């Protein structure tokens, strides 16, 4: 930490931060600093797919957040995992590659008034970093086939990426195992009116299929492997600090009264170190860390900041507001005459066989994503688009982290893709080391409670189809005694859990949107009709509305857009 002046300072070496570091450091004339509060990803369980079981809830890799007790959850609070390790959530998540639906991005374009966020304009930025196992086509990218963005761009930035052969870093593969009970569930879903699909990422994800995953030859493929090693490590203009937590942004008032972000204060475990940014600080700390750091730095709701003795510099009520997440409702069905992980892993011999298969072939249960089979459909026929998602697993347990049940079973978890409930992330003191208060307000609207009840009925309808009848599925949880709307909604509050998809706490919007924190080019507003110079956000917090699926892949697309915007801005400034 000798020379601490950089062109770009990126806060958070997670999903977005690793990609941004790769793209921005491609220009050898720009010094790039990447700061990560967690440690390096040299913990072995990060790389074994089933290792998420040992990473979530582990201070080595997880921030260990919890939500506030929620009325919609009947007073319960939930564990709220967020990656605190190189690679961020891509090192501990479910590895599912999912873009969402085209309407999600068209809605972003409408909300921001910027057509560049539409599906048609966003698709090339997804393809830009993809390395799809089936190769490149009109919907997917692959290593060695430059995307339209890289191939056709005429700026110095795009020329640099072409020179560096950038693109195709994010590996997408099919899973390395199948289960008879999941195949039967897929057939039952078709019998219940859900079409089979071979691609969830074509703009509409309606259908049932096995998920595609971010793995490479049976290993987890996190963003540190994809974008940092060895590419960035070999660049003399790139520097990375790990186990270093940003405590505060430097927000200075300029001679004309405008605000500028000029650097950061960093706690390295021993002392505070200042780093200076010549061009831009980019917040990639996620939907929890980003609003927390903004508020600590004087950007946020003025009443909240004053309550904690922080001088408001930019009164932005949207900082920490608009929190959205996917709440899953887990139904467990006992089965007979079919293999499940419950029965495979209930003995030392079974566990040894599982370990040996992975050791020899990088396949089997140790290569599993948390959920293998997915389905997207409507909670009731009146819905205009698929509004619920299934994550189906050949196993069951009482709660995440608990032992598997001692009977054969599968779990069908269903979530509302477009919840209307909105929550908050707010600091509870001016101490950067104290976790913020996280209040998702799950099931706080009549609409969300109705979708929860209806989605459980869809689960039961699928389980009742002929394809599953050979295995005699018996609803063990929640139990068939719950039937009415009120009973099912109350039940959802008792058993609902997060799928860890928080977004929206520093949302994009038009300049006349009072809750918008950034404009459509991801620049932070100053609360007076202008912008905070030198400060951008590129993570899930900028999503104005949650995508209709898992959120990791959309964050990478946002990061691609941010890198291009930053590089082009820098070129225009000379």
Q: Active-site residues: which are they?
A: 501
Phi, psi dihedrals of residue 266, rounded to the nearest 5°:
-125, 130
Q: Are strands 531-537 and 272-283 parallel, antiparallel or unpaired?
A: parallel
* CA–CA gap between residue 560 and residue 363 (Å, rounded): 32
Q: Pick the closest to residue 86 from 221, 267, 222 (CA basis).
A: 222
Reported as type and span, the H/E element at residue 219 is strand 219-220
Long-range Cβ contact pairs of 396-402 (< 8 A, separation 24 or more): 396/332, 396/340, 396/342, 396/476, 396/477, 399/497, 400/56, 400/79, 400/497, 401/53, 401/56, 401/57
Q: Give CA 509 to chain center in angstroms.
A: 20
Sign of the torsion angle spanned by Cα atoms 540, 546, 548, 549: positive
Give 17-53 as a DSSP string: HHHHHHHHTTSTTS-EEEE-SSB-S--HHHHSGGGHH
279 vs 7, 36, 517, 559, 567, CA distance in Å?
5, 20, 20, 17, 10
* CA–CA gap between residue 42 and residue 46 (Å, rounded): 8
* CA–CA gap between residue 473 and residue 342 (Å, rounded): 15
Q: Pick the closest to residue 333 from 395, 382, 271 (CA basis).
A: 395
**Which residues have CB under 8 Å from 347's CB, separation 6+?**
none
Give 155-212 as a DSSP string: SHHHHHHHHTT----EEEEE-S---HHHHHHHHHHHHTTPPB-S-TTSS---EEEEPE
Reported as type and span, the H/E element at residue 570 is helix 552-573
Dihedral over alpha carbons 558, 564, 566, 572 (to 10 degrees): -150
435 vs 62, 68, 289, 336, 486, CA distance in Å?
12, 12, 9, 45, 35
């Amino acid at each position: 930490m000798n020379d601490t002046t950089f062109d770009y300072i990126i806060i958070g070496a997670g999903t977005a931060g690793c990609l941004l570091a790769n793209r921005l450091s491609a220009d050898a004339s720009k010094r790039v600093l990447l700061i990560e509060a967690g440690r390096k990803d040299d913990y072995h369980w990060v790389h074994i797919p089933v290792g998420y079981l040992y990473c979530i809830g582990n201070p080595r890799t997880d921030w260990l957040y919890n939500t506030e007790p929620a009325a919609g959850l009947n007073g319960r609070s939930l564990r709220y995992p967020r990656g605190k390790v190189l690679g961020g959530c891509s090192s501990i998540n479910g590895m599912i590659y999912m873009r969402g639906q085209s309407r999600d991005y068209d809605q972003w374009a409408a909300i921001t008034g910027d057509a560049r966020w539409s599906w048609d304009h966003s698709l090339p930025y997804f393809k830009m970093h993809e390395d799809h196992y089936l190769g490149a086509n009109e919907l997917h990218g692959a290593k060695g086939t430059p995307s339209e963005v890289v191939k056709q761009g005429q700026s110095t930035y795009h020329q640099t990426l072409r020179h560096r052969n950038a693109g195709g870093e994010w590996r997408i593969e099919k899973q390395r195992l199948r289960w008879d009970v999941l195949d039967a569930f897929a057939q039952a879903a078709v019998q219940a009116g859900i079409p089979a699909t071979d691609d969830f990422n074509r703009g509409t994800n309606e259908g049932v299929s096995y998920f595609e995953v971010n793995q490479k030859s049976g290993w987890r493929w996190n963003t540190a492997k994809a974008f940092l090693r060895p590419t960035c490590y070999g660049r003399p203009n790139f520097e990375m600090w790990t186990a270093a937590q940003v405590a505060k942004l430097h927000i200075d008032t300029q001679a004309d009264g405008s605000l500028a972000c000029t650097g950061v204060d960093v706690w390295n475990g021993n002392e505070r170190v200042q780093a200076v940014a010549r061009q831009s600080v980019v917040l990639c700390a996620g939907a929890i860390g980003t609003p927390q750091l903004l508020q600590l730095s004087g950007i946020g709701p003025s009443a909240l900041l004053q309550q904690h003795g922080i001088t408001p510099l930019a009164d932005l009520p949207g900082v920490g507001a608009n929190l959205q997440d996917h709440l899953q409702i887990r139904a467990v069905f006992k089965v007979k005459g079919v293999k499940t992980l419950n029965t495979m892993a209930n003995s030392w011999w079974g566990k040894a066989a599982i370990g040996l298969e992975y050791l020899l072939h990088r396949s089997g249960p140790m290569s599993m994503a948390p959920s293998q089979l997915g389905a997207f459909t409507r909670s009731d026929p009146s819905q205009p688009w698929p509004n619920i998602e299934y994550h189906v697993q050949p196993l069951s347990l009482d709660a995440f982290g608990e032992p598997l049940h001692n009977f054969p079973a599968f779990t069908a978890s269903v979530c509302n893709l477009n919840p209307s409930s909105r929550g908050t992330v707010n600091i509870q003191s001016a101490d950067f080391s104290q976790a913020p208060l996280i209040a998702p307000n799950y099931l706080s609207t009549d609409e969300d409670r109705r979708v929860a009840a209806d989605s459980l009925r869809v689960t039961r309808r699928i389980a009742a189809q002929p394809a599953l009848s050979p295995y005699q599925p018996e609803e063990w949880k929640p139990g068939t005694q719950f039937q009415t709307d009120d009973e099912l909604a109350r039940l959802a509050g008792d058993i609902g859990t997060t799928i860890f998809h928080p977004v929206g706490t520093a949302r994009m919007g038009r300049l006349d949107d009072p809750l918008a924190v950034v404009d459509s080019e991801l620049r932070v507003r100053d609360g007076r009709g202008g912008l905070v110079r030198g400060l951008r956000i590129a993570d899930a917090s900028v999503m104005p509305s949650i995508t209709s699926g898992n959120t990791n892949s959309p964050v990478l697309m946002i990061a691609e857009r941010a890198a291009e915007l930053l590089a082009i801005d820098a070129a225009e400034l000379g």
